[in-house]
Structure 1
Amino acid sequence: MKLAIEEHLKCDEYPRVGVVVAKSGEVLATGHRGETRSVHAERVALRKLTDDEIQGATVFTTLEPCVELHEGQEIKSCAQLLIDSGVNEVVIGVLDPNGTIYSQGYRKLLENNINVSFFNRKLRAAVEEETFEFGDIHKVHGCGKRRIPVVHSGTELEVQFSEKDERIINIKWATLQPAHGCVDLSSNNGAVRVASGARNFGDISDPMIFRFPSHFARMNKGMVAIVKPANTTFYVLIQLVEIFENDIIFKWEVRNDN
């Protein structure tokens, strides 16, 4: 597991992924994302071995192996590659938060009689912190843009004012309905206001001019909302940028409440 993390830290692109292939206590091959351009880390490592060497091996990967993202995909997914290769076990660092992949690679391995286990909690935490460009996927600060999954009961986020200023407002994305082009943004009761008519954050000079506070806003692409719970000293502007089957892209900006 530690050797896989060492490989993972060699990556100069996100998400970082490191892989080690071992058998009978011996390391047979390693690989990391970016080692070979546009080739996933699992494939990089397995290409270094013969079919006989791979048979019965254990693969340690810091990120859940990917699955096919669309029907008729030309390149075999990493999960399918591992199944077809004859490995005996896959040890995973963290599940991929990409809503299209989340738990699907794990499930596919199990359904095909591959033994699956996970890194220990301490190492999982280390992997989580270093795998994704934004570190903790459940916390943002300042201003920016991010793609996040919205699966099952939704995704909760802490919006922190800045890296040094630890004031926090909690938000949640839920009830993603891609067929209808909408997703729900919620926070504390009465904290959310739709900035009706606003096209971007620069159009908003005072968040309180917008009436009808609510505990949630049903957001469509391009819509701007304001989140300001009672008794907070700052507020968050949020715009839904794009919506996908299992994910969204949103922008945010924090402002002091003057």
Structure 2
Amino acid sequence: MDASRAYSKTDLMRLAIEEHLKCTQFPRVGAVVTKDGIVLSTGHRGERGNLHAERIALEKLSEEDCRGATVYTTLEPCVALHDGQTVGSCAELLVESGVAEVVIGVLDPNATIYSQGYRKLLENNIAVSFFNRKLRAAVEEETFDVGRVDKLVGSGKRRVPVVHSGIELTVHFSESDTRTIPISWRTLQPMHGFVDLGSRNGAIRVAAGVRDFGDVTDPKVFRFPSHYARMTQGMIAIVQPEGCTFYVLIQLLQLFDSDILFRWECRNDR
């Protein structure tokens, strides 16, 4: 990186991605602070203790350098304190630093942050723009330990946001197998203890009475297939669209104010 060179916006996006690829923990985040295309500082999450990338990059500079600068960050700035974090949020820091513009890679899928950092910046008259589509896709793939947040593979456990109209996910039998099943989570009502699991019409069966995936030996023994199931904590559902040669077991583990935690397991239908 040439400290005297004026970089293009696309090149600055790429430099931020180079920073986030240096991270050894997830979510990966990289940041670059610039003025007129000149790089003033860089930072990546984990570079210095538990501090976030934006804070690391900004704290390398004087107040005068920060004022009017543009910050490229691969992930939406945080708005809430995390466990063990003893400093304020990155969104608040950006506001206090007097930066003029923030360019964001992807919005944070964590429902307690999603669009809130973006909104905080706009409310404080900071211009906000986003990485181009191609680079956003690259950031999405490399930022989170699960890869694409809308892709489920094989088996595992995932916490996802269920806000506004919900979230659409695609279950892949394996990384090398092209078979997929679409699912969606909607209508989260944590006060009432339920969330709706949806898929294609007639694809979902509730595994009534089942407490563990190992208890399911044949998905077809469960009656009354439907296009959705109202899931409460601990419930298990089986999703298998008509003609699909595999099925996925899904168990709701926990509900939060705007997120859910669930696990899944794909099986061939033999």
Q: Is the 8 A contact 1:237 1:252 kept in 2?
A: yes
Match among 4, 16, 27 for residue 4 of structure 1: 16
Is 1:30 matched with 2:51?
Answer: no
Q: Is the 8 A contact 1:97 1:148 kept in 2?
A: yes
Is 1:216 matched with 2:228?
Answer: yes
For 1:36 and 1:177, the matched residues in 2 are separated by: 39
Shift of 1:238: 0.2
Task: Find the residue that maps to 1:3 and give its secondary structure.
Answer: helix
Task: Find the residue that maps to 2:177 and give its secondary structure.
Answer: coil
Shift of 1:75: 3.0
Aligned partner letter, 1:16? R
For 2:195 and 2:60, the matched residues in 1 are separated by: 44
Task: Find the residue that maps to 1:179 and give its secondary structure.
Answer: coil
Is 1:254 matched with 2:262?
Answer: no
Q: Is the 8 A contact 1:199 1:224 kept in 2?
A: yes
Report the counterpart of residue 251 of structure 2 in structure 1.
239
TM-score by length of 1: 0.96
Between 1:232-241 and 1:22-31, the stretch displaced more is 22-31
Match among 154, 165, 171 for residue 159 of structure 1: 171
Shift of 1:24: 2.6
Report the counterpart of residue 7 of structure 2 in structure 1.
none
Is 1:19 matched with 2:25?
Answer: no
Is 1:119 matched with 2:131?
Answer: yes
Shift of 1:213: 1.3
**Runs (5+) with no aligned partner, structure 1:** none
For 2:147 and 2:203, the matched residues in 1 are separated by: 27
Task: Find the residue that maps to 2:257 and give its secondary structure.
Answer: coil
Cα deviations by residue, 1:217-246 (Å, 9 ceiling, x for unpaired): 111111111011111111000001111111
For 2:192 and 2:24, the matched residues in 1 are separated by: 37
Is 1:188 matched with 2:200?
Answer: yes
Match among 211, 216, 221 for residue 204 of structure 1: 216
Q: Give the total of aligned pairs.
A: 256
Identity of aligned residues (%): 69
Aligned partner letter, 2:130? F
Report the counterpart of residue 3 of structure 2 in structure 1.
none
Shift of 1:25: 2.4
Aligned partner letter, 1:174? R
Aligned partner letter, 1:214? S
**Runs (5+) with no aligned partner, structure 2:** 1-12
Cα deviations by residue, 1:99-119 (Å, 9 ceiling, x for unpaired): 111111111100100011111
For 2:87 and 2:163, the matched residues in 1 are separated by: 26
Report the counterpart of residue 99 of structure 1 in structure 2.
111
For 1:107 and 1:227, the matched residues in 2 are separated by: 37
For 2:81 and 2:199, the matched residues in 1 are separated by: 32
Report the counterpart of residue 86 of structure 1 in structure 2.
98
TM-score by length of 2: 0.92
Shift of 1:83: 0.3
Cα deviations by residue, 1:33-73 (Å, 9 ceiling, x for unpaired): 11122111111111111111111111100000011259xx9
Task: Find the residue that maps to 1:167 and give its secondary structure.
Answer: strand
Aligned partner letter, 1:203? D
Is 1:175 matched with 2:192?
Answer: no
Stretches of 4+ aligned residues off by more than 2 angstroms: none
For 1:25 and 1:156, the matched residues in 2 are separated by: 38
Report the counterpart of residue 134 of structure 1 in structure 2.
146
Task: Find the residue that maps to 1:34 and give its secondary structure.
Answer: coil
